[in-house]
Amino acid sequence: MNGPYKPGTPCWVDLMVPDQQAALDFYCGLFGWQGEIGPPETGGYSVCHLKGKPVAGIMKAMNPDGTVPDPMPPTVWTTYLSTDNVDGTLKAVTDAGGGVMMGPVDVMELGRMAIVTDPTGAVVGLWQPGTFDGAGIVNEHGALTWNELATNDTAAAAEFYSRVLPLTTGPTDLPGAEGYTTIRVDGREVGGMMGLDQHPAGTPPHWLTYFHTDDVDAIAAAAGKAGGKVVAPPFDMPAGRMSVLSDPQGGVFAVIKAIAPAQT
């Protein structure tokens, strides 16, 4: 990726965890990333790299004043959607029935961000790029390849996201995946949306991060050996072979080897 992502496109993912170093050890070992705890002026935020390009962020869970949260928030991967105007998008979010959890806030010269909730309760980030556009590599082993919303009301979610960002939603053309909704920017598939009926009872609406891998079974086995859990063992589906995993601190993510390169 050599430039800003078009507004509406997932452009970055990051993980908030109680033990930042343990998370770095797990993901760097699993995907071959390079990463270390960042400087104090960025709150220690780690930008992990693959082949010298940024691929994901990992940060320690903390309050704005630097104290440890009590209770500790859940360990989650957050998807960020690109926008060319965070402030304008936030107004659209609230007008469309969403909520603002954090921001807007400037991240030095890197960009401007906010965290919001859609009307179904799913949390998603917004990123207005400054000097930092987002993921520098996608669709390669160990890199971001897909972002998917699971929600209890796909119609309401589709209406919301199409109102706040320049994207469209519609049924997939992929054979065997009837009922799956794709998210498109300028006609290009950049993400997906599905109901919660295929998830365990009580699963809240959420965005799921997918990383591409050349060998789903090997990554699932390696995650288990490193202290993670296999939430959904490797299985074949219309888009390829995938597995849903969690890291040792409970952060859930998916890995996939797509039949054709997924689009981001």
Percent helix, strand, coil in the chain (nearest 5)? 20, 40, 40
User: Higher-confidence residue: 86 or 67?
Assistant: 86
228 vs 249: CA distance, rounded Å: 8
In this predicted structure, the answer to whether residue 66 has a pLDDT above a threshold of 90 is no
Confidence tier at 176 by pLDDT (50, 70, 90) = confident
Phi then psi dihedrals of residue 229, to 5 deg: -130, 150
Q: Which residue has the tokens 């469209």?
A: 168
Count the alpha carbons within 13 Å of 19 in the hemisphere toward its beta carbon. 10
Tell me the two tokens of residue 74.
């859940």
Q: Mind listing the pLDDT tens digit for each residue in 203-233?
A: 999 999 999 999 999 999 999 999 999 999 9
Q: What is the mean predicted confidence (pLDDT) over 161-190?
A: 92
Phi, psi of 113 (to 5 degrees): -135, 165
What does the pLDDT look like over 187-205, one tens digit per residue? 999 999 999 988 888 899 9
The structure's pTM equals: 0.95
Give the whole-angstrom CA distance, residue 142 versus residue 33: 8
pLDDT score for 221: 98
